[in-house]
Amino acid sequence: MPETARQPRGEPHDGPFLGDFVCFSIYSASLAFNRVYKPLLAEMGLTYPQYLVMVVLWEGDDRTVGGIGEVLSLDSSTLTPLLKRLEGMGHLTRARDSHDERVVRVRLTPAGRNLRLKARVVPGCILEATGMSMDELRRLQGEIDALRRNLEAANG
Amino acid sequence: MPETARQPRGEPHDGPFLGDFVCFSIYSASLAFNRVYKPLLAEMGLTYPQYLVMVVLWEGDDRTVGGIGEVLSLDSSTLTPLLKRLEGMGHLTRARDSHDERVVRVRLTPAGRNLRLKARVVPGCILEATGMSMDELRRLQGEIDALRRNLEAANG
DNA sequence: TACGAATAAATCGCGCGCAATCCAATCGCA
DNA sequence: TGCGATTGGATTGCGCGCGATTTATTCGTA
């Protein structure tokens, strides 16, 4: 699918070209990562987005829905049902803040905190699957983050 | 969210670490790309996956469902309804192959071919939004593709 | 103090992605 | 020739992502 392009920046052209394919590469890599994570996380009964929320909470408990959404760039229409599922599994509680009833505070249960132990093997497996060194990954991550920031800036 | 890790390869550790976050970066960049594409593609009435299928068909018409799926790493349970929507929009036709009735051949209509003209401005807009040079993007794409290949290999 | 604006979360509808399953057509081999 | 195995798609069920709307609460200000 990759095909080198020769057009100058911003001008129309006949076919698809590089700008598209960086996106396709990322899209496709994202799906590929998901397929690697799925069997690992299935042992904990988690999906990847659910795992991300748990990681965020392990890093810092007692957050609001919006606070979690800020870290993950997801909004309440995605998070509310996801959090309800995690609540249903007994990993966290959702409760309105008594000082501001608009806010829902999300807190880990002991079971949710405990799940972190089971999750300890995950990053090593993922690292293994990438087939890359930590240094390579660190550098690559930096570049992708820079790209994401540019995209977010361009989007307003 | 990024936080540097110090653990040696493959060993358990207390918190999430780099291997996870490369994935998060890609996941998040993928969503960010989608948000940039959405308004552009909305003018053509396409979603990003639909656009990808159209790009594949513009590159080479008259493909099977499986053939498209091979290029995009998607299977029939994703593609069948997507292709039906594109068919409903009048961009393509779906017909069983007369020599092998198991196979469905997907072909562009004149309208579908014509849509390519409207799509010509898209890559330039995307390139602009990335805020990167073509050379940078080309290199980055190569690294991400290598990562994806590793993941697919690790996954069997 | 009352009332409109702003804010936080929830709800709804739709389109992916994918595992699991099903079905029909074709192939392979005795 | 027949029959089990394989293959290509379709279907179903579920969990995201997100735009659009709704509801409840709080804030700002006259």
Residue pLDDT, tens place only, B66-89: 999 999 999 999 999 999 999 999
pLDDT of residue A11: 46
CATH fold for domain A18-154: Arc Repressor Mutant, subunit A (1.10.10)
Give which of B6, B28, B44, B78 to mutate to test A binding, by max A Cβ within 10 Å.
B28
pLDDT of residue B64: 98
B65 beta carbon to strand D: under 7 Å: yes
Contact B120 A23 (CB under 8 A): no
CA distance B109 to chain A (A): 18
Q: How many CB pairs under 8 A join A and B?
A: 227
Helix then strand then coil, in percent of chain A rounded to 5, is 65, 10, 30
C1' of D29 to CA of A102 (Å): 21
pLDDT of residue A121: 93
Crossing angle between the packed helical segments B122-130 and B134-154, to the nearest 10 degrees: 90
Over residues A38-88, the pLDDT tens digits come to 999 999 999 999 999 999 999 999 999 999 999 999 999 999 999 999 999
pLDDT of residue A155: 82
Band of residue B5 on the pLDDT scale cut at 50, 70, 90: very low
For the domain spanning B46-133, the CATH number is 1.10.10.10
Average confidence (pLDDT) over B14-21:
66
Closest partner CB to B22 (pick from A31, A140, A150): A140
Distances (CA, A) of A34 to A48, B53, B112, B128, B152: 7, 21, 32, 28, 11
Q: What is the DSSP string of A32-86?
A: HHHHHHHHHHHTTT--HHHHHHHHHHHHS-SEEHHHHHHHHT--HHHHHHHHHHH
